[in-house]
Amino acid sequence: MTDWLKEIDKAQDLEILESIRIGALGKKGEITQAFAALKEADEAQKPLIAKSLNELKNSFALAFSAKKESLEMVALSQALQAERIDVSRFAPRNEIGALHPVMHVMDEIIDFFMQRNFTIETGPMVEDDFHNFEALNLPKHHPARDMQDTFYFGDGRLLRTHTSPVQIRTMLGKKPPIRMIAPGSVFRRDFDITHTPMFHQVEGLIVDGKDKVSFAHLKHILEAFLTHMFGDVAVRFRPSFFPFTEPSAEVDISCHFCKGEGCRVCKHTGWLEVLGCGMVDGNVFEAVGYEDVSGYAFGLGVERFAMLLYGIGDLRSLFEGDVRLLEQLV
Ligand code: DAH
């Protein structure tokens, strides 16, 4: 008879252990066969043989279940080891993209004017002298050209310094009445904490029949617009100069950080300059061949709005693409 207890002891995994059980106690197993052979045994010997077979069967069962339990423990700990999860491991996150704060402000501005039936007009970023300057009442050698440091290509073309040329293109392509805004990128040779070589503007233009558009209309829409953007602020119009408007004004809002008391952002004046505007100059209408019309125009810098809305001190930080900053905005 095989030394079954020794076999069990040697078994290294559950599969081998099971084959040992079959070898001993299966239908044709050695112990099973020994029990079957009992019938042929000598009557006198039978009880003795039966007793030792039963003892063998019992000790087999005990050894088998103890071994099985210990092999199962080994298998379990091997599986746990193999599937171990290291919770301290670095896991890259899938970041969800979002609109850049400047584009968010741009959309807010566009929405305001779209809801009031302004059309959205666009024009090329590479412009010519006529559309960017000449037709806007900025003839060659006019000192006001110095207000805008221009990138020239050397062949007469230039990068538009403002979105005002879209006024000209729209008026040349359409008859009045006109009620438009022109959002877009503009370019100037400037780089400091409040200037970047590329930034965004939104231009506005309304043209209708003679005497139909007044400065009161301009004040009304801009006051509604600025309180929509900045909340409960006071709006003031200061006389100013732009070649393409007459009269011209610069528009200030009361500082929404200090409520007009004076702080770092408003340089202790209580006011923040936010845009330029005026009644369209007769020379501009002449340049596009419009007669007997009246109109107003305005222009604003989107980054300036974003800086004031989000309280950002250095404009350049909006262009550095640092997610840690951008995530805090919008
Ligand atoms: N084009 C001006 C600039 O870039 C902004 C501006 C001022 C536009 C007054 C206008 C306006 O249409 O009426 O500084």
Which helix (H) or strand (E) segment holds residue 68: the answer is helix 46-82
**Could you tell me if 85 and 142 lie in one domain?**
no
| Boundary (domain end) residue, out of 89, 120, 139 | 89
Say if 95 falls within a structural domain: no
| Residue pLDDT, tens place only, 269-290 | 999 999 999 999 999 999 999 9
**Could you tell me if 164 and 230 lie in one domain?**
yes
**Could you tell me if 131 and 274 lie in one domain?**
yes
Distance 99 CA to ligand 1 centre (A): 26
Q: Are β-strands 157-159 and 178-187 bridged in parallel, bridged antiparallel, or unpaired?
A: unpaired
Say if 132 falls within a structural domain: yes
**Could you tell me if 13 and 145 lie in one domain?**
no
**Could you tell me if 85 and 107 lie in one domain?**
no
- Given a cut of 90, is residue 317 above it in pLDDT? no
- Given a cut of 70, is residue 177 above it in pLDDT? yes
Q: How many domains does the chain have?
A: 2
Confidence of residue 327 (pLDDT cuts 50, 70, 90): confident
Between 329 and 104, the more confident residue is 104
Residues with CB under 6 A from ligand 1: 162, 164, 203, 242, 244-245, 276-278, 297-299
**Could you tell me if 47 and 77 lie in one domain?**
yes
Share of the chain above pLDDT 70, in %: 99
Say if 133 falls within a structural domain: yes
pTM for the full predicted model: 0.73
Compute the mean pLDDT over every residue in the chain, rounded to the nearest whole number: 93
Closest C-alpha to 161, from 145, 137, 178: 145
Question: To test the ligand 1 pocket, which listed residue (169, 298, 302, 303) has its Cβ within 8 A of the most ligand atoms?
Answer: 298
Q: Which domain holds residue 281?
A: 101-329
**Could you tell me if 26 and 109 lie in one domain?**
no
* Measured distance CA(157)–CA(130) in Å, rounded: 10
Instruction: From the CA of 167, give the closest atom in ligand 1.
Output: 12
